[in-house]
Amino acid sequence: MFSLFTKKKEVEPEAIESSPKEEKSFFSKALEKTIQNIATIANFGSKAEKLSFETIEEILIESDMTYDIVELAMDGLPNMISRDQLRHRLISLFEFAPKINFNNLPKPYVQLIIGVNGAGKTTTIAKLTNMYTKAGKKVILGAGDTFRAAAIEQLSIWASKLDVPIIKTKQGHDSSAVAFDTIQSAVAKNIDHCIIDTAGRLQTQANLNKELEKIVKVCNKAQDGAPHQKLLILDGTQGNSAIAQAKAFNEIVGVDGIIVTKLDGTSKGGALFSISNELELPILYVGIGEKADDLIPFSPDAFVDSLLDGIYS
Residue 45: the pLDDT is: 52
Quick one: how far is CA 92 from the chain centroid? 19
Tens of pLDDT along the chain (313 residues)? 323 333 334 444 444 455 555 665 777 777 788 877 776 664 455 567 888 999 899 989 988 899 999 999 999 999 999 999 999 999 999 887 666 565 678 999 999 999 988 899 999 999 999 999 999 999 999 999 998 889 999 999 999 999 999 999 988 899 999 999 999 999 999 999 999 999 887 655 677 788 899 999 999 999 999 999 999 999 988 888 888 888 888 888 899 999 999 888 887 888 899 888 888 889 999 998 888 888 989 989 999 998 888 888 6
Does some domain include residue 200? yes
Is there a domain that residue 29 lies in? no
State the CATH number of the domain containing residue 111: 3.40.50.300
- The pLDDT of residue 6 is 32
Q: Is the residue at 109 inside a domain?
A: yes
- Is residue 159 a part of any domain in this protein? yes
Order of strands across the sheet that contains 229-235: 166-167, 139-142, 193-197, 109-114, 229-235, 257-261, 283-287, 295-297
Nearest by Cα to 217 from 175, 272, 170, 173 = 175
**Structural domains counted in the chain:** 1
Q: What's the confidence (pLDDT) of residue 127?
A: 96
Q: What 3 state SS string does the chain have?
A: CCCCCCCCCEECCCCCCCCHHHHHHHHHHHCHHHHHHHCCCCCCCCCECEEEHHHHHHHHHHCCCCHHHHHHHHCCCCCEEEHHHHHHHHHHCCCCCCEECCCCCCCCEEEEEECCCCCCHHHHHHHHHHHHHHCCCCEEEECCCCCCHHHHHHHHHHHHHHCCCEECCCCCCCHHHHHHHHHHHHHHCCCCEEEEECCCCHHHHHHHHHHHHHHHHHHHHHCCCCCCEEEEEEEHHHHHHHHHHHHHHHHHHCCCEEEEECHHHCCCCCHHHHHHHHHCCCEEEEECCCCCCCEEECCHHHHHHHHHHCCEC
Question: How much is the pLDDT for 312?
Answer: 82
In a domain, 53, yes or no: no
- Cα(77)–Cα(56) distance, rounded to whole angstroms? 11
Q: Is residue 43 part of a domain?
A: no
What's the Rg (C-alpha) of the chain? 20
Task: Give me the pLDDT at residue 40, please.
Answer: 67
In a domain, 80, yes or no: no
Domain enclosing residue 246, as ranges: 10-15+96-309
Per residue in 82-140, pLDDT (tens digit) is 999 999 999 999 887 666 565 678 999 999 999 988 899 999 999 999 999 999 999 99
In a domain, 66, yes or no: no
